[in-house]
Chain A
Amino acid sequence: MFTKDIISWIKQSTKSTKFYIFVTLISFSLVIPLVLRDSLSIRVLTLMAIFTIYASSWNLLASSGQGSLGHAAFLGVGGFTSALLALNLGIPPIIGIFIGGVVSAGIGFLIGLTCVRLKAWFLGMVTFGFSIIAETLVSQFDDFTHGILGFRTAPLASSGLPFYYLAVLIATLCIAIIYYIMKSKMGLAFRAIHQNQSESKMIGINTAKYKLYAFAISTFFAGLAGGLYAHFLRYIRVEIFTPANSFEPLMMSVIGGLGTIEGPIIGSIILVAIDSYLPNIDKFLPIVHGIFVGPYLRLLGLGIFLVIVVIFLPKGVSSLLRKMYNYFFTDTKKANNIERK
């Protein structure tokens, strides 16, 4: 039954351009490290893959109308769980990252219970508060977590290409699952809640239930991303809970395109690339009044870029790409027809 479904799905999808774009992107992501080769690029690509999972998990939660401002809590919980399991019990990280995801989802579920009644800003602040509480607890129980100084995490795969391919594999699986969820009835419910909670309640959607589902699923992927992140950096410390890590997925999702599948992917590629490659211009920048302006000019430029993007592309870069896609791949006659109608 199941295999039949898959075969028919493949048959169907080979007809659509989207499928080919998907295949092209996957093969591109597999080939590009072989072209770039330098260890910085492979590191950056791996970070992109990990942040794709993290940003997508945040985006899934935001799709259900719950914009979290404390997702770093789940990144950290996933990372610490997996790293500590490997350190203390010798559990292999490849299993540990999924346990980390499950633990994070469990905590996410409990936090979700306090959040389902809350509206947007209240929810944002409560999740932010939980990330602060998580940080305090991890540094308070330092004897157990070793979080204050940090510690060396076990290797998940040998660094470089093997880790990159593993990260791409896991990221692809996660994106596929999130895509499937968003296409399913559950995804429909999420979007309905996002658009209008009281109306979706009226048409019989159990909003509390679906919001909890969104919380648990999202925090599972965030925890998984945290595990990958911790084992990729080979180091974890309490700074993983920093608010910057909470705002990162928001920025990635918004710049890429909120509520879309491709948005967080594009966003994490753009932001990680800027963060990692822009410092290359440092050597051309001067010292002014005893201050090396490089980092400050870079960050200032990033800020201006972000504001300009969101002003001119309020639906993110993906909306621009969609326009380009329609421009190139849609029959102009057909488009004109639609316009006329």
Chain B
Amino acid sequence: MANTKLIAAVVIVIIVVAASVAVWQLMGPSEPTIKIGLVAPYQIPVGQDMDRAARMAVKEINDAGGIYVADLDDYLKIELLIADTGDTTDTAAALTAVTRVIDQGADLLIGGFSSGATLADQVIAIEERVPFIITGASSHYVTRRGFLASDHPLYIGDAEGMSYMFHYCTTVFHYSETVAHFFAEAMKPLLDNEYGFSASRKLRLAVIYRDDAYGQGVWDATEHFIETDNLPIEIVAEVSYPLTTTTFQAELTTIKAANPDAVYVVDFTTNTATIYRQGQSDVGLNTVYIAVECCEEPEFYTALGEWGDHQLLESKFASYAGPPFYLPMMDTYVADYQAEYDTIPGMMGADTYDAFYIAKEAIENAGTLEKSAVRDAIEDTDMEQMLIITESGRIEFSTEEDSYHEIAPFTFVEQLIYDETIGECRPKVIWPTTAPGVGTIKQADFVLPENYEPGS
């Protein structure tokens, strides 16, 4: 008898679940909307930051009336579709998520985080001809793979489909170029001056990176810029470690043995903070550490505590270096974001936020939701720069010389100063002095940390 009851119970549960899901499915909004899919790794903090920024942009645009579509002679509201790509390791989940939102009728996709996942899931958008503004993959292949040699393992022959891809994000080349030039142009003169080194002495740089597409990419690009720009930098150590690593004393000891003048740390928030801390407190590697711009997230500052004092961070969106900020727009954005979500925005959200306004502008210019027209309109985007500073001061995707659509973001270097009252570091922009379209961004001079010891 117990069995019959159990069976009955299970059947009832299944029916109730199925019915409620069916009812939920049917309860969709009936009025026409512009559907924008946010492709984000919701299960890690950056994905949540992208989500918050996207919701804020959608709310602002909708509250202001929506997007005017000339074809329909009507203002349409944006409906946010969620494409949860999981935690970036699951390729199948990423593909399923993108397929889902395209099935739900997404007019446009925004987001994408992790190059590996994006290179896999963008193919769905390419095949379905859905414009995709990629705001989070650091590999330049996401837009250039259509223009590679045809035997390249990432090559996609579909040039028409590739034209629907837009890269609104810094690539590994942007990071490395700024960092390499910072060391050559700002740090080397300072060291030469301070310690009386000869001008011919090259700056001794050590690179420590996570062993994945991201870390490898930054490492390769750093090597590339030092060589092609003929910078006075010598790589004295190159250490990579598996993603499962949590203690870095062995790696840092190896680096210490090489006597570097500075260490370039290529990892995300928590590990970077651990490297800063263990390097100084455990290994006695008292040097200058610089982190990649992906660390401009609230989590980094919490995890770092006082161990970031006078250390460096590359950035493209300095949400902690104010208020007042170098961009007036950032004042309102950061304040609104904090009022809404009670946390300081990270840099991933900033790209996403901008992308929604690019989409709005493009749809209004196109006057239709027809995807190829929207693609053409995005291609012709010419807007004042928003939260992300670009090399030209305007948002425009490369089209003439290069057939792939990329922006040229501008990155800069911040120095962190420990603030005892809040128990965390706060950054100041130190290099370069000015940014295109903004004017002066520099807030303080670069000073070496108190415990700094130059390499041999």
Is A bound to B? Answer: yes
Residues on B with C-beta less than 8 A from A95 are none
* A window 275-316: CB within 8 A of B: 275-276, 279-284, 287, 289-292, 294-296, 299, 312
B82 on the A face (CB < 8 A): yes
What's the dominant secondary structure at chain B's contact region?
helix
Pairwise interchain contact B6-A312, C-beta atoms closer than 8 A: yes
Given A242-B90, A291-B48, A312-B6, answer yes or no on A150-B342 (Cβ-Cβ < 8 Å): no
Looking at the complex, which of A24-32, A40-48, A111-119 is the stretch in contact with chain B? A40-48
Pairwise interchain contact B213-A294, C-beta atoms closer than 8 A: no
Pairwise interchain contact B100-A40, C-beta atoms closer than 8 A: yes
Interface residue count for A (Cβ, 8 Å)? 50
Given A234-B120, A239-B89, A295-B42, answer yes or no on A39-B103 (Cβ-Cβ < 8 Å): yes
CA distance A227 to B155 in the complex (A): 20
Candidates A142, A276, A289, A312; contact of B96 at CB < 8 Å: A276
List the A residue with the shortest CB-CB distance to B86: A295
* B window 65-108: CB within 8 A of A: 81-82, 84, 86, 89-93, 95-97, 99-100, 102-103
- In the assembled complex, the CB of A329 is this many whole angstroms from the nearest CB of chain B, namely 14
CA distance A66 to B10 in the complex (A): 32
Which of A47, A87, A234, A327 is the most central at the interface, judged by chain B CB atoms within 10 Å of its CB?
A234
CA distance A87 to B100 in the complex (A): 29
Pairwise interchain contact B212-A136, C-beta atoms closer than 8 A: no
- In the assembled complex, the CB of B14 is this many whole angstroms from the nearest CB of chain A, namely 11
B310 on the A face (CB < 8 A): no
Residues on A with C-beta less than 8 A from B115 are 149
Which of B3, B92, B120, B156 is the most central at the interface, judged by chain A CB atoms within 10 Å of its CB?
B92
Pairwise interchain contact B116-A237, C-beta atoms closer than 8 A: yes
Pairwise interchain contact B211-A148, C-beta atoms closer than 8 A: yes
Interface readout for A222-255 with B: 1 if CB under 8 Å, 0 if not? 0000000100011111111010100000000000
Pairwise interchain contact B90-A152, C-beta atoms closer than 8 A: no
* B window 33-72: CB within 8 A of A: 42-43, 48, 51-52, 55
Pairwise interchain contact A47-B25, C-beta atoms closer than 8 A: no
Interface residue count for B (Cβ, 8 Å)? 52
CA distance A47 to B3 in the complex (A): 33
B283 on the A face (CB < 8 A): no
List the B residue with the shortest CB-CB distance to A240: B91
Given A139-B211, A149-B141, answer yes or no on A47-B99 (Cβ-Cβ < 8 Å): no
List the A residue with the shortest CB-CB distance to B240: A139
Pairwise interchain contact B120-A233, C-beta atoms closer than 8 A: yes
B321 on the A face (CB < 8 A): no
Candidates B86, B119, B212; contact of A235 at CB < 8 Å: B119
Pairwise interchain contact A320-B84, C-beta atoms closer than 8 A: no
Candidates A149, A295, A323, A327; contact of B84 at CB < 8 Å: A295
A210 on the B face (CB < 8 A): no
A194 on the B face (CB < 8 A): no
B216 on the A face (CB < 8 A): yes
Given A43-B95, A146-B153, A150-B120, answer yes or no on A280-B25 (Cβ-Cβ < 8 Å): yes
A339 on the B face (CB < 8 A): no
- In the assembled complex, the CB of A81 is this many whole angstroms from the nearest CB of chain B, namely 15
A188 on the B face (CB < 8 A): no
B19 on the A face (CB < 8 A): no
A–B Cβ pairs within 8 angstroms, 30 of them: A39-B99, A40-B103, A148-B213, A149-B119, A149-B154, A150-B116, A150-B213, A152-B154, A234-B120, A235-B119, A235-B123, A236-B91, A237-B91, A239-B89, A239-B90, A239-B91, A239-B116, A275-B96, A280-B25, A280-B100, A281-B24, A290-B48, A290-B343, A294-B42, A294-B84, A295-B42, A295-B43, A296-B43, A320-B10, A327-B4
B interface residue numbers (CB < 8 A to A) = 3-4, 6-7, 10, 21, 24-25, 42-43, 48, 51-52, 55, 81-82, 84, 86, 89-93, 95-97, 99-100, 102-103, 115-116, 119-120, 123, 127, 139, 141, 153-156, 211-213, 216-217, 242, 340-343
A interface residue numbers (CB < 8 A to B) = 38-40, 43-44, 47, 87, 136, 139, 142, 146, 148-152, 159, 229, 233-240, 242, 244, 275-276, 279-284, 287, 289-292, 294-296, 299, 312, 320, 323-324, 327
| 9 A-B pairs with least C-beta separation | A151-B153, A290-B341, A235-B120, A149-B213, A295-B42, A239-B89, A282-B82, A40-B103, A237-B116
